[in-house]
Structure formats: structure tokens, C-alpha cells
């Protein structure tokens, strides 16, 4: 049986060229408190991919809970996550004009629309 899920997310943001090394280093050992907050928020199968020529970070994840907005609010209220974002936001440039950072009302990452899905035998 595959895991239940209610939502898939694909998001993009720019990585500042001068922050690439620091970004790789910090993501090689993400703080346990940050991962724990994601787990409590029912986020699974989360990956970030990086394409240097476009400074492009691509994040994909699945949400397995029942109230995405409420769970994301809990993540945004987590003190360890707030400290994490204070570090990682500074490494990034948002595609969203006027965005101030993660966890605010205006999104920092840009959600990218899904135009095709094929589950295959995972379902």
C-alpha cells in the first residue's frame, strides 16, 4: 500500500551564486529540529534540486495530512524553523516581487503549476 497524500507541491526560488557552497553545506546536515517540524506537519518525500545556470532551486514534496494551511502555520511558528529560515532566506532571491521572507503572508518560494501526472504502479 502506498502512503495517502492530499497534495503535491513544486516550488522554485533563486540561489545567490555567492551562497552556493554554504547552501550545500547546511543542507548536507539539516538541523534535526527543522526536520522534526516538517515531520509534524505531514511533509514527506521532500527533495531540493539545483541547476546552476539559472541559479534555480526546485523543491518538491508531498503533504499527507488533512489541513495543509494549518500545518504550514505550525511550521512557520516553530522557533527552530524560524532560525533556519533566517539563515537560508539570506542565501536566496525570491521570484515573488516584494516577498520579504519565509513564513510571511506573501510566499517566498514560488509554487509551480502541475500540468501532468502519472502515478504508475505506486497507487
* Set of cell numbers at residue 16: 545567490
| Rounded Cα–Cα distance for residues 18 and 98 (Å) | 22
Question: Interface with its own copies includes 79 (CB under 8 A)?
Answer: no
Question: Interface with its own copies includes 121 (CB under 8 A)?
Answer: yes
Number of C-beta neighbours around residue 119 at 10 A: 7
Question: Interface with its own copies includes 82 (CB under 8 A)?
Answer: no
x/- mask, its own copies, residues 18-57, rule CB under 8 A, reads -----xx--x--x----x--xx---xxxxxxxxx-xx-xx
Contact 41, 32 (CB under 8 A): no
| Rounded Cα–Cα distance for residues 75 and 22 (Å) | 23
Q: Minimum distance from CB of 83 to its own copies (Å)? A: 17
| Rounded Cα–Cα distance for residues 50 and 95 (Å) | 15
Question: Interface with its own copies includes 95 (CB under 8 A)?
Answer: yes
Residues at the contact surface with its own copies, assessed by CB under 8 A:
1-3, 8, 10, 12, 23-24, 27, 30, 35, 38-39, 43-51, 53-54, 56-58, 60, 62, 64, 95, 110, 112-122
Amino acid at each position: 500500500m502506498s502512503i495517502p497524500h492530499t497534495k503535491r507541491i513544486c516550488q522554485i526560488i533563486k540561489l545567490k551564486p555567492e551562497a552556493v557552497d554554504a547552501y550545500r553545506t547546511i543542507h548536507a546536515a539539516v538541523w534535526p529540529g527543522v526536520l522534526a517540524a516538517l515531520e509534524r506537519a505531514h511533509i514527506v518525500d521532500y527533495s531540493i534540486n539545483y541547476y546552476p545556470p539559472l541559479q534555480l532551486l526546485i523543491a518538491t514534496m508531498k503533504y499527507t495530512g488533512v489541513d495543509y494551511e494549518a500545518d504550514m502555520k505550525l511550521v512557520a511558528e516553530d522557533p527552530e524553523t524560524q532560525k533556519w529560515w533566517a539563515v537560508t532566506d539570506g542565501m536566496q532571491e525570491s521570484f515573488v516581487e516584494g516577498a520579504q521572507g519565509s513564513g510571511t503572508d506573501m510566499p517566498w518560494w514560488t509554487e509551480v503549476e502541475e500540468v501532468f501526472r502519472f502515478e504508475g504502479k505506486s497507487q
